[in-house]
Structure 1
Amino acid sequence: MVLDRCRFSAVSLLRYRQALAGPGLRPAHAQRCGDRHGRCGGRVVCMGQSLGSDLAAARQARGGSGMNEAVRAMEWLASRLTPLDMGLILIAGLLLAVSFFLFRSESDRARARIFRLLNLMVIAFVIGYHLVASSLADSWVLRLASVLAVIYLAYLSMLVSAWFVRRRFGRERTIGDERQIIETYHSRLLTLVIGTVIGLVALVAIVRILGFTSLLEAGGVLGVIGVMLAITQAAWAPDIISGLIILNSSLVEEGDVVQFDDPAELPMVVFKTKLFHTELLNLANNHRIMLRNAHLRDRMIHNLSKFASARGLRELLRFRIGYEVPPDRVEAFFEGVARKAAESGDIGLEPEQPVEVRVLDTGDHAVEWGVYYYTKQVRDLLQIRQQMRAQILRESLNAGLSLATPLRVALVREMEESEP
C-alpha cells in the first residue's frame, strides 16, 4: 500500500507540474531522479525539489507570453520566406514609401493609387501564401500570386522606363511658377514602343502561368486578344495617332492658352495631352474639359501662347462713341488711359509697346473705335480685359466722355418723355 501511495503521489506531482508549466516547458518527469515512472524510494522527494524551479519558469513564460508568441511567429515566417520572397517584400515596401515623394503632381494621383495598391497586394500575397497556402504547391493561389507578380513587374517596368524616357527626351518648360517636363513626340512614341514590348512579354508569361503551355493553346488565347483589339481599334487607334501628331507638330503643348474658332468659347489652358484624350482648364469657370485627341485635331485652334512677333499678343477692345466727339479727343483719351494702366503695373500690359487707337467702322449712329494693346500674360487674359474696360469706364466718367450708343440713348429718352 505504501508503494501504491508513493506511485500516486509521484504521478500527481508530475501532472501538476505539467499543468503549471504549460506547453512552453518540458518537465524532466522522473528522469531527473533516475526513475521515468516516478516510483518511490526518494523519487518523490527529488521531484518535489525540482517542482520549485518549474514553477518559476512557468511564471516567467506566462509573463512574456505575448512577446514570445510574436517573436516565434516572426521567426517561423522568416524561416519559411526564401531570399526571393524577402527581396520582393523589401522592394515593394521601399517603392511604397518612395511613391509618396515621386507622385506629387495632381495628374499622377490615379497612377500613384494603382502603384501603391499593387505594392500592397504583392506584400499581402507573399506573406499570405506562406501563412495559409504554403502546402498547396500547385493551386490557384500560387497561380494567382504568380500572375499578380508578373503584372506588378510589368507595370513597374513601364513606369520606370517612361520616367527615364521622359527625362531623356521630354522638354522642360515653366508652367505658371513651376518647372515641369512635358511630353514630346519622341518621348511619347518611345514610351509606346517600350510599353508594347513589355506588355507582350507579360501577356505571354501570364498565358504560360495559367496553364496554356502548348503552342496551339497559347496561340488561341493570343489570337482572341488580337481579334478583340482589331474589332475595337476604331475607338482607340485614331486618338493615339492624333495625339502623336499633335505632339509632333508642337502646335498645342502643355501650358499653352488656346481658343477654339467659336467666338462664344473662352480661352482655355492645355493641362495634359494624354494617350487618348487632352485635358483643358477653363479659365473663366475654373473647371476641366476633356476632348478626344481625334476631335481636337478636327477643330480650328487658336494658340494664344504662340506669338507672331516678340511684342506679344495683340488684343482688341471695341467702343462706340458718337460723331459729336472729335477724333483727336478720342485718341488722346484712350492713349492716356493705356499709359496710366501700363505705369501702374496692376494691369499686365507691355509698357514698351504703345497702344493703337483705330477707327473700325463708321456706322449710322456712332463711330466704332478699336483699342489695340499688347500683353504677354496670356493666362491672365480675361482679367486684363476686365481691368482695361473698368479703367476706361472710370476715366470716361471723369473726362465727361459718353460710351453709350447715341441712338439707343435718344430712343430711351423719347420713350421716357412720351410716358404720361
Structure 2
Amino acid sequence: MQEFINLFSHLNPAAYTIITLNILLLIFAQRILTHGFKLAPKTHQYTLWLMLFRGINFLIIFAFGYYYWYQPALEKGPALKILAILGITYAAYLLINFGNYFILKRYGKEREVEGKIRLTETYQTRAVSIFSSVFISIVALIAIIHILGFDSLLETGGVIGFIGVFLALTQSTWAPDIFSGLIILNSDMLGEGDVIEFNDGKTVYGLVYKTKLFHTEILNLIDNHRVMVRNARLRDFTIHNLTKFASARGLREKLIFKIGYDAPTEQVKKMFHEAFGKAIERGLNIEEQHGLEIGIQDTGDHAVEWVVFYHTKNIRKLIRTRQHMMAEFYAMSQQYGISLSTPYTLQIQDTSSNTKEAGAKERA
C-alpha cells in the first residue's frame, strides 16, 4: 500500500488532472462516441473510432506513467510490474482489434444483411485474423513472462509449455468449432445474409446473421428470435440454402391441395389461376413473368392431390408469402364452391341379393 502512495507522490497537479481525465475518457468512450459524435453502435466505423479513442488515452496515460514512475525508479517494484502487465495486455488487445479491422477491410466481402450493406468475413479474413491474433498474443505473453522475472529460456519455455498443455487438454471443446467455421467460410455454401433451412428436431428457417469464431448466429424467421448454433454442429445438419437459386427464376415454391373427384379439372385450374392473379394484384412477393405451374401429383383413394408451383426471389419474406398464397387459394376456392378439405369416401355394399337368397333357403 505504501508503495502505491509513493508512486503517486511523484505526480504534480497537472499530471493528476491529465491522467484522471484520460481515465474518465477511457471509461466513458462509448457514450461519448454515441451521443457526442453520433456514431451508430456495433458498426465498423464505431469500433474503429472506439479503439482509436481508447488507444490515444492509453498512450497518454502510459507516457505520463513512464515519465513520472519508471524513469525515477531504481528498480522495478510489484506495482510497476502490474501496471506494465496491464499496459501490455491492453496494447495487445488494441493491436488484435486494429489488425482484425484492417484485415476485414482488405479481404472482407460486402453483403446485404437485414437491408444494410456491411463487410462480412471470408475464409481469408478468418484465417489471417487467427494467425495475427495468435502471433500478437504470443509476443505479449513472452513480454509478460519476462516482466514477471522468468528471464531464462528454460523458465520461459516452462510457462509457455504449461499453457500449451492446457490448450491441448481442452482442444476438444474449441478446436472443432474453429476448424468448422473455417470450412463453412471456405466452402461458401452459406454466408451472412443467406436464408437457410435445416432440421434440428424441427424445421428451422433462419437468416444467417453472423458467422463467429466458435458459433453462428441465426435469426429464426418463424419465431423471430436469435439462435446460436455451434459451428461443428451446424456442419452436421443437411442445410438448404434458399438464397442460392438453381436458376434466374428464383426459388420454386410448392403448395399441395387435396380436392375431391367431383370437382371438374378445368374449374380447379381456373380457380388456381384466378387466385394467382389476385395475389399479383395485391403485390405479393412472387414472380409474375414465370406464371403458375399446375399439375396432379397423385390420385389417392379419397381425393386428387393437386400441386401448384410459383417462383419468388424475396426469400426474407418466404414464410409470409407462403401464408398469403394459401389464403388467396382458400378464398378463391370458397367462391368457386370447391372444398379444399380431404373428402371421406364411404363404400356402401349392396347386400339385398344375399338377404333374398337367405330367405328363400329358410322357406324351403
TM-score with structure 2 length normalisation? Answer: 0.80
**2:187 alignment counterpart:** 249
- Corresponding position: 1:331 with 2:254: no
Q: Find the aligned partners of 1:387 and 1:79 in 2 and give their Cα distance.
A: 68
**2:142 alignment counterpart:** 204
Question: 2:289 aligns to what SS in structure 1?
Answer: coil
**2:236 alignment counterpart:** 298
1:365 to partner: Cα distance: 0.6
Task: Answer yes or no: is the 8 Å Cα contact 1:319–1:368 preserved in 2.
Answer: yes
Higher mean C-alpha deviation, range 314-323 or range 95-104 = 95-104
**1:396 alignment counterpart:** 333
Q: How big is each residue's C-alpha offset from its partner over 1:342-396, in whole Å with a ceiling of 9 and x where there is no partner? A: 2321x11111110111111111011111111100111111111111111111111
Q: Find the aligned partners of 2:46 and 2:87 in 1 and give their Cα distance.
A: 23
The match for 2:319 among 365, 370, 382 is 382
1:176 to partner: Cα distance: 2.8
1:148 to partner: Cα distance: 0.8
Closer, same or farther in 2 for the Cα pair 1:128/1:202, shift >3 Å? closer
Q: Find the aligned partners of 2:125 and 2:58 in 1 and give their Cα distance.
A: 30
- Corresponding position: 1:222 with 2:160: yes
Report matched runs for 1:345-360 at 5 Å: 345=283, 347-360=284-297
- Corresponding position: 1:78 with 2:14: yes
**2:308 alignment counterpart:** 371
Q: Find the aligned partners of 1:384 and 1:103 in 2 and give their Cα distance.
A: 32
Question: 1:352 aligns to what SS in structure 2?
Answer: helix
Q: How many residues end up aligned between the 2 structures?
A: 334
1:136 to partner: Cα distance: 9.5
What are the ranges of 5 or more consecutive residues in structure 1 without an aligned counterpart?
1-72, 412-420
**1:183 alignment counterpart:** 121
Instruction: Please report the RMSD computed on the Cα atoms of aligned residues, expressed in angstroms.
Output: 3.9
Closer, same or farther in 2 for the Cα pair 1:96/1:212, shift >3 Å? farther
Task: Answer yes or no: is the 8 Å Cα contact 2:51–2:94 preserved in 1.
Answer: no
Q: Find the aligned partners of 2:294 and 2:80 in 1 and give their Cα distance.
A: 78
1:138 to partner: Cα distance: 3.0
Q: How big is each residue's C-alpha offset from its partner over 1:85-118, in whole Å with a ceiling of 9 and x where there is no partner? A: 89x8799589767864777238999999999999
Q: How big is each residue's C-alpha offset from its partner over 1:189-234, in whole Å with a ceiling of 9 and x where there is no partner? A: 1111111110110010111111111222111111100111111112
Task: Answer yes or no: is the 8 Å Cα contact 1:89–1:126 preserved in 2.
Answer: no
Question: 2:209 aligns to what SS in structure 1?
Answer: strand
Identity %: 43
Task: Answer yes or no: is the 8 Å Cα contact 1:158–1:194 preserved in 2.
Answer: yes
- Corresponding position: 1:320 with 2:296: no
The one-letter amino acid paired with 2:12 is W
The one-letter amino acid paired with 1:392 is F
- Corresponding position: 1:265 with 2:207: no
**1:287 alignment counterpart:** 225
Higher mean C-alpha deviation, range 386-395 or range 147-156 = 386-395
Closer, same or farther in 2 for the Cα pair 1:128/1:194, shift >3 Å? closer
The one-letter amino acid paired with 1:325 is A
TM-score with structure 1 length normalisation? Answer: 0.70
Higher normalized contact order (CA 8 Å, seq sep 6+, divided by chain length): 2
Q: Find the aligned partners of 1:189 and 1:114 in 2 and give their Cα distance.
A: 22
Report matched runs for 1:58-73 at 5 Å: none
Closer, same or farther in 2 for the Cα pair 1:382/1:172, shift >3 Å? same
